[in-house]
Structure 1
Amino acid sequence: MKVRDLPKKQRQIIHAWCMYDWANSSYATSAMAAIVPQYFVYLFTQAVGSELIFLGLTITPSAMYSIAVALSTAVVAISSPILGVLADRIAIKKKILCLYTVSGALITSFSIFVTYLPSSWFWLGVIFFFSNIAFSGGLVFYNSLLPHIAPKALLDNVSSRGFAYGYFGGGLLLAVHLGIIIMMPSDWTDFATRMCLMSVGAWWFLWALWTIKVVPEPTIFNPIKRMTVTKATSLALNELGKTFKELKKFKMLVIYLIAYVLFNDGIQTISTIAPAFGADTLKISTTFLMATILIIQFVATAGSMGFSKLADLITTKNALIVCLIAWCFIGIFGVALAPLTPSSENDYSYSLKFNQARGSYEILSLPELTDSQSDEFWKSKFGNLKEKDLISVDKSSELLNSVKSYDESQFSILISDGPLRSKSTIGPKHPSALDGPIGWWPKLIRTIFWSPLNIPVEYQFLILGIAVGLVLGGSQALARSLFAKISPETRSAEFFSFFAFMGRTSAVIGPVLYSLISIVTAGDNRLAILSILIMLVIGTIYLTKVNVEEGEITAQNEDNRIRSTN
């Protein structure tokens, strides 16, 4: 059976359902993946510096961003099961979806004002916190509609189709945003960035109207009328307790959820933190990060449908395992990304050449200093230097030693000829300085692969992005459709809310773990990623224990029981 074999009305409903992925992927792509992480790192660095010391702990921008991700997903994890129980007893799935959509779109649009507020990085974090709650909460009820719009035989196809719509639609808007930011004069980049975020809200809301108008509210098999707030809360808590008790009837579902918590933790954390890691640790520009994410979108469009075909050939479970194995290799590859050490004059922040006639050094190039706290020290000592200036040998030696020894130095320096005899060095915080317990791994890969092939870190990140695109859509779509196959259709909102609870719980654990390890290790973000990778490996192994056929039989028996009593 194929989608084209379905009645016209059902095909229209499936198309409208997929359009919500088209709508909200503007947030997932342009806001959450491409703009907000880099913009947050930029605002944080401008205001605070490359790290914040709080109660003796070192907090990097990506760690702070990860905390905002964890807190927002925690709210969804707690609230979704309660709302899901109510949505299976009262016809409110679409109403809740609409509420989350309007709230998320409106809050995202408020980003236009963030630069006018004190501590802009903090307020951008607040906006992201609430908009991510709306985005993640809406996905719960959007996903719960899936079993009601397509037969079980087409769940893989329709789920993958939805993700394909999302990647393509999100990619189109991101292409527009990238064009705007590139064409805008540098003085207008900040305003252009905020305008792009505001347009995300508009895109999300307007395209979502198609879904809300066309997709019908699913039939409620055991409805409750005259529901008060107190009664609704009591019912939700009681039903949620019953769900936990009844889980023992759904053995395969429980095993799958355990595996899902583990592997989803890895996928979601890596996907969410990667842009911030690129901006914070690898120092990749916002424009290049956006271009990479744009490429990922279109690769993922094909990847999601490709894995749907693979699922037809080797089963949904086996196709998902292939995806997860690929994710494990991607995690290992991601830790090995390493900026190349400076090798030519243009690679260095400072470049000085001895002027024999004047007996001093001429500054050929120097970095542009920011207003961040970490640059204040540098400005006090070297802020008056300009290109083409001549400085004494002693001043040149002082600059060389400061670049090398100042704890917050992200600079590099090359001094050619003269009394200092062609010296070069990099600062402790320079992107190519690879320290920490696993610094040997990116150093090794840089030595045997990146440096000989002269592949800069931007293109390393691009290669990683293409690999992510190939498996990202497939892993998400197959995980969703596999859950739909082994859960009862008559209790879709309840079980998908529980699915979301487990997913959001894991999405909280991952960023929290990333933040804690990054903070405890004084900013070792690579070690933080490695810890997430371990959970992904364990989840992949656990998935092999799921018997899908047994799970489908159990779900069908539950549907038959509920339908026979109504």
Structure 2
Amino acid sequence: MEREFLAKKMNNERSARWAWCTYDWANSAFPTVIVTFVFSAYFTKTVASSVEEGTGLWGLTLSLSAIVIAALSPVLGAAADQKVQRKTYLAFLTAICIICTALLWFVKPSNDSMILALILFAVANVAFEIGVVFYNSLLPGLVPKTHLGRLSGWGWGLGYAGGLVALAIILFFFIKPSTPPLSLNKDAAEHIRIVGPLVAIWFAIFSIPLFILVPEKQVRKHLSATSVMSAGLKSMLHTFKTLKNGGPLARFFIARMFYTDGLNTLFAFGGIYAVGTFGLTFESLIIFGVAMNISAGLGSVLFSWIDDYFGSKETVLVAIIAILILGIPLLIITSVKLFWFFALLLGLFIGPAQSASRTILAKLAPDEKIGEMFGLFAFSGRITAFIGPSILALATMVFSSQRVGMATILMFVGIGGAILITVKIK
């Protein structure tokens, strides 16, 4: 009887871990298809008046949404710790992101659709990023600290695989065919606009296992919503005062503030750079996105064991150094073939930089403040996030060169890496 109970418990734990990873598969279609490769390029090349104007407006929207994310994430994360309703918060934010993403279908290839596109994208992006706070905060309760790197890496790797499959479906079933399915009108860009509803459906279906199978601690039902928010705000303010004294957490958050700003800017403008500077068509852009997801997914899975055996900090530093070394030629070369070569090599290190950062915090954060810490994790990744896109957009407009704009990314990544060296992790 006891053996059966233990076997059932182990099966439930395995199911919960895979369900948690499946959410990464579900939500990665949004940053891959909407933020980085397809919709952002569609907006800058087709909806906006020019590539330069589209790049600037897209960067401004990312900056404004980043400010909102930075302001709300720590408070909501701390509030979730008070009443332990992370899955409820996550479900609500997931629904908002799904609805706004689906509505991107109504963004037509015309300047008249610019405001609609930017508003829908901004709201969806805010909901997506704050939702990740609650998703990440579920991680420490699923495995021992000795296995955090592996589960985090597997989740990230599965996320890249999800982005890959979503991109492949869009490429082979909607963009590449001379006659798209569902009687979609290419002249009205319907074969591209359909990515909004497709990503929304994808996200909705594959997020279901998490809400069914991932366990959560007992809810403290005696706390009212007002009490929860008040207690969360007080806890967050106390944590901010503690962080002022320095320490590993404070230095880690500052380091991540810089290198994540660089990575987020790279994700947001990678597809735009490929189209504007190297002349990739939408079809070529999708193939490039598929290849990048394969590269990044392989990197995440391979480095997940390195994370647990050699250390999360060391994993992030190796990834940062590699990104800096490979990023320089990408700013200089003119050959499309060389662009593919260096970009795919760089992709191997993007996943580990993100995944191992999540593991660092899971190891440093107190158990009773895990939601709050991941709220600050999002805060550290977003409080300066308006600076990266803004500087890139400004440099692009002033010098009329996407290369100059993209060069600003390496500055942020390098500063973050230098600060991370000073962080001590037991």
Task: Say whether the fold is shared (TM-score over 0.5).
Answer: yes
Give 2:128's aligned residue.
135
Quote the Cα distance in structure 2 between the aligned partners of 1:67 and 1:185.
36
Verify the 8 A CA contact 2:292 2:343 in the aligned structure 1: yes
Quote the Cα distance in structure 2 between the aligned partners of 1:518 and 1:248.
36
Classify the secondary structure of the residue corresponding to 1:183.
coil
Deviations 1:126-160 (A, max 9, x none): 22111111111111110111111111000000000
The one-letter code of the counterpart of 2:350 is L
> Is 1:99 equivalent to 2:100 in the alignment?
no
User: Are the structure 2 counterparts of residues 488 and 274 from structure 1 closer, same or farther at C-alpha, using a change threshold of 3 Å?
Assistant: same
After superposition, where does 1:386-397 map in structure 2 within 5 Å? none
Deviations 1:322-347 (A, max 9, x none): 10001112321221132xxxxxxxxx
Give 1:36's aligned residue.
39
The one-letter code of the counterpart of 2:167 is L
Q: CA deviation at 1:117?
A: 7.7
> Is 1:473 equivalent to 2:351 in the alignment?
yes
Verify the 8 A CA contact 2:44 2:50 in the aligned structure 1: no
Give 1:447's aligned residue.
none
Give 1:174's aligned residue.
167
Quote the Cα distance in structure 2 between the aligned partners of 1:209 and 1:502.
29
**Unaligned ranges ≥5, structure 2:** 1-6
Q: CA deviation at 1:224?
A: 7.3
Give 2:291's aligned residue.
295
After superposition, where does 1:416-495 map in structure 2 within 5 Å? 456-457=335-336, 459-495=337-373
Give 1:504's aligned residue.
382
How many residues get paired?
413
Deviations 1:48-73 (A, max 9, x none): 2344xxxxxxxx32222111111112
Quote the Cα distance in structure 1 between the aligned partners of 2:425 and 2:69.
28
Give 2:4's aligned residue.
none
User: Are the structure 2 counterparts of residues 501 and 116 from structure 1 closer, same or farther at C-alpha, using a change threshold of 3 Å?
Assistant: same
Quote the Cα distance in structure 2 between the aligned partners of 1:18 and 1:76.
23
Q: CA deviation at 1:22?
A: 0.6
RMSD between aligned residues: 2.1
Quote the Cα distance in structure 2 between the aligned partners of 1:460 and 1:138.
37
Q: CA deviation at 1:118?
A: 6.2
Give 2:101's aligned residue.
108
Verify the 8 A CA contact 1:44 1:121 in the aligned structure 2: yes
Higher RCO (C-alpha under 8 Å, 6+ residues apart): 2
Verify the 8 A CA contact 1:41 1:279 in the aligned structure 2: no
Quote the Cα distance in structure 2 between the aligned partners of 1:219 and 1:336.
55
Q: CA deviation at 1:225?
A: 2.5
Q: CA deviation at 1:119?
A: 1.2
> Is 1:514 equivalent to 2:382 in the alignment?
no
After superposition, where does 1:227-246 map in structure 2 within 5 Å? 227-229=224-226, 231-246=227-242
Quote the Cα distance in structure 2 between the aligned partners of 1:219 and 1:248.
32
After superposition, where does 1:154-303 map in structure 2 within 5 Å? 154-179=147-172, 180-185=174-179, 188=186, 190-219=189-218, 223=220, 225-229=222-226, 231-247=227-243, 251-303=247-299
Verify the 8 A CA contact 2:79 2:233 in the aligned structure 1: no
TM-score between both structures, scaled by the size of structure 2? 0.91
Classify the secondary structure of the residue corresponding to 1:163.
helix
Quote the Cα distance in structure 2 between the aligned partners of 1:312 and 1:232.
35
TM-score between both structures, scaled by the size of structure 1? 0.69
Quote the Cα distance in structure 1 between the aligned partners of 2:207 and 2:358.
20
Verify the 8 A CA contact 1:29 1:170 in the aligned structure 2: yes
The one-letter code of the counterpart of 2:10 is P
Runs of 4+ in 1 over 3 A off after TM superposition: 184-187, 231-234
Larger radius of gyration: 1
Verify the 8 A CA contact 1:331 1:529 in the aligned structure 2: no
User: Are the structure 2 counterparts of residues 130 and 162 from structure 1 closer, same or farther at C-alpha, using a change threshold of 3 Å?
Assistant: same
**Unaligned ranges ≥5, structure 1:** 52-59, 339-455, 550-566
Q: CA deviation at 1:241?
A: 1.1
The one-letter code of the counterpart of 1:507 is A
After superposition, where does 1:298-313 map in structure 2 within 5 Å? 298-313=294-309
Give 1:323's aligned residue.
319
Classify the secondary structure of the residue corresponding to 1:548.
coil
